[in-house]
Chain A
Amino acid sequence: MLSLPELQARFAATLFDDTAASPPAWIRAAGIAPELRLGIYRNNLEAGFANTLALEFPVIQRLVGEDYFRQLALSFLARHPSRSGDLHHIGAPFADFLRAQYAATCYRYFADVAALEWALQECLVAENDETLEPSVLQAVPPHAYCGLRFGLRKAARLLESAFPVVRIWEANQPGATTAEIIDLAAGPEFALAHRSTGGARITRLSAGEFALLSTLATGLPLEAALDASLACEPRFDLRVALHRSFELGVFAHVSLITERS
């Protein structure tokens, strides 16, 4: 008689790997071949996985089509099966999987689109934290601005791509009607995924804004962030960029640490 660990290992092996199947004598036939009975469970596994992945990556599904997406999901399942009882986590390695899969092809941009979609998923469930109000800066004397360190909200993700991923993402939203032809060489693009009322959204950033926020996100002070912004965008306007960041609700907290005090 099979022990419980053996039985569960064989059951899973049969579902994950078709070739492992010798006729499973440990299942009662009772009018229906054991292989067919296991096939019901294999269908459940594959459909549950592929459907969840499609909900998490609707733009990738739209780019490749439903049939191909299902094939893609199944090869992803074989390499990256779920590691959690919460199916929502399966999409985490999908962008890297696509990056490896399409590295040397004209579909290299899939990985960046998937990263954008996963960032949205993360923002949807990220911990709630307060949005920093711009009024807190009123108490800061102008000479101290360069030492300000901003913390980003938990529901904010920064992404950059060599491809025009935001345009691709926008053109593949359910409501999008324009059949715009997007030139893949029209990148790079910079994006902020963040939570807003009723869900999560993507906002396009300039190169300077992206440099500013991603430098601040590493914990460096505003002075270093401004240097990074000016390096890639010589006419970068800090005042405008900070105003917009507050409007987008990017910041969670700010602190003033002066190097020499």
Chain B
Amino acid sequence: MPPARLQLARARSPRPGERVAQAGAALSAGVGLRAQHHAEILARRPSVGWFEAHSENYFGAGGAHRSQLTRIRSHYSLSLHGVGLSLGSTDPLNVNHLRELKRLVREFEPALVSEHLSWSSVGGRYLNDLLPLPYTEEALRHTAARICDVQDALGRQILIENISSYLQFECSELPEWEFLSALVGESGCAILLDINNLYVNSMNHGFDAHSYLYGIPAAAVQEFHLAGHTLTRCGGRDIRIDTHNSHVAPEVWELYGTALQRFGARPTLIEWDADIPALSVLEAEAAKADAMMEAFRAVAA
């Protein structure tokens, strides 16, 4: 169970009859959990606020990684972050995947459960990537209904994360922040705001990140993500790719500062999923996020 010193995450006010996420993630910075760090975490117990695990990495029924997660959970608060539920897909919801997720949620009692505003399969074939949705009424109704199905199956609210994207669809009718806000209204889900993805998209698609920050309902934002991205060239133009393989960029830290002013402190995750560095590097990034939250609180107080 989470240590007592953790504060409760501020959930938005529940509507009648609505099941709200079991709060409990610290209002502090956490680190993405990778298997190569399991042993060190258990041996050294770093002073990280919490860990976030990719749900699918622990779908196997047994084995060393799962046992280690059980032990890590006994010392830290946990968030489960899914990458494969394919919420926006028009294929039927994958009941096996949902069953595995439900089993994991029941066993590990995570403070937060999240998925992406994306799709990844069609006709039973999975691309195992976070693919963008067109922002249309049809996609909104479809995705909201699927989120409701998942929330009903899990018996709790889930957080939906904005993804990085490298294209936009001709048929999109709404800016992403309006789509996401409508999704919150329709499904009662919360928002996991990935500050890096927001920055990447604002640069790739040329919109004002501040319009996004001020365009989504503040109370629905329950977690932030921070990660590194890569600037590359495509067709003679700059494009930013969400690679999660480096330090958080200075521009993203700056936008995080703006997000703190807009939303207040929220559990903030350092994600680093490729070219994974020593745990101490992740701890230092998390400490930086903690310091910014602390500075924000000092000013606000």
Residues of A within 8 A of B (CB): 1-5, 7-9, 11-12, 15-16, 25-28, 30-34, 36-41, 44-45, 48-49, 81-88, 123-129, 154-155, 195, 198-199
Contact = CB atoms under 8 A, between A and B. Distances in A.
Given A4-B138, A4-B142, A7-B134, A44 B129 contact: yes
Interface stretch (B42-50, B168-176, B249-257, B260-268): B168-176
Interface of B: 56, 59-67, 82-86, 89-90, 94, 96-97, 100, 119-129, 131, 133-134, 136, 138-139, 142, 166-171, 205-206, 234-235, 237, 239, 241
Contacts of A123: 63
Contacts of B56: 85-88
B124 to A, nearest CB: 6
Contacts of B89: 8
Contact of A126 (B62, B129, B205): B62
B170 A40 contact: no
A34 B167 CA distance: 8
Contact of B127 (A15, A34, A88): A15
Most chain B CB inside 10 Å of its own CB: which residue of A2, A7, A124, A127 = A7
Most chain A CB inside 10 Å of its own CB: which residue of B82, B168, B235 = B235
Contacts of B235: 31-33, 36
A31 B128 contact: no
A27 B63 contact: no
Contacts of A26: 169-171
A7 B61 contact: no
A48 to B, nearest CB: 6
20 contacts: A2-B134, A3-B138, A7-B171, A9-B123, A12-B127, A16-B125, A26-B170, A28-B168, A32-B237, A34-B167, A37-B234, A39-B234, A40-B167, A48-B129, A82-B125, A84-B84, A124-B64, A126-B62, A127-B61, A128-B67
A63 to B, nearest CB: 25
Most chain B CB inside 10 Å of its own CB: which residue of A12, A34, A48, A49 = A12
B54 to A, nearest CB: 10
A40 B168 contact: no
